Amino acid sequence: MTRVRKIRDEVLAFHRDQRGESSTLSNVMMLAVAAIAVVALIAFGKTAFTWLKEMWEKITGSSMG
């Protein structure tokens, strides 16, 4: 079984388990949180990576690469 097919089957199984209004609301909330995370990553990704890299170098005394 290919990896994509396995992921698809898992998503479909999750969808079948989720029924009713509350599950729809839960799915919408998960989508909203994921969208916020993507926007934050796009906006602050490079800055956050630079900060984490500097902290790593201070703590370990070695470069991340």
pLDDT in tens, the chain (65 residues): 588 888 788 877 776 765 655 677 888 899 999 999 989 888 888 898 898 889 989 999 887 66
Report if residue 65 sits inside a domain: no
pTM: 0.45
| pLDDT on residue 4 | 80
Whole-angstrom Cα distance, residue 50 to residue 39?
18
| pLDDT on residue 8 | 83
Which residue shows structure tokens 């902290």?
A: 55
What residues contact 44, with CB distance under 8 A and at least 6 apart? none
Whole-angstrom Cα distance, residue 50 to residue 44?
10
Buried-state track 4-37, b at ≥16 Cβ within 10 A, e below 16: eeeeeeeeeeeeeeeeeeeeeeeeeeeeeeeeee
Report if residue 54 sits inside a domain: yes
Report if residue 48 sits inside a domain: yes
Report if residue 14 sits inside a domain: yes
Structural domains in the chain (count) = 1
Report if residue 39 sits inside a domain: yes
Enclosing domain of residue 46: 3-60
